[in-house]
Amino acid sequence: MASDRPVQITTDQTARWLTDARFGPYLAEAEGNHDLAVELYVWNARISSALFETLHHVEVLLRTRSTRSSFPSTLELPRATPGSRTPPSLRLSRGSV
């Protein structure tokens, strides 16, 4: 779980870790205040991270609904014959390559 403590990142660290194109909008929004820009950057990262969890749940829901609507619940798959480890659909007949 992310901490609510302020993140301490120096100007030198910011210059090494982030490009001007990446950090510039945060610095502009913070009117040049480096510490506030870092807070905005970290806040954005945390919000984005929280969004990915929600997207994950939506993806699972959509995949489940799609699978259930594509394959009827009465679908019967071919069964292997007693003593065989290979399902019938995977067995090769004589003469096939």
Q: Which residues does 88 contact at the CB level (< 8 Å), separation at least 6?
A: 78, 79, 80, 81
Radius of gyration for the alpha carbons in the chain, expressed in angstroms and rounded: 27
Q: Is the pLDDT of residue 6 over 80?
A: no
Q: Is the pTM of this model over 0.85?
A: no
CA distance 57 to 81: 39
When mean pLDDT is compared over 16-20, 71-75, 80-84, the highest value belongs to 16-20
Percent of the chain with pLDDT over 90: 29
Q: Is the pLDDT of residue 28 over 90?
A: yes
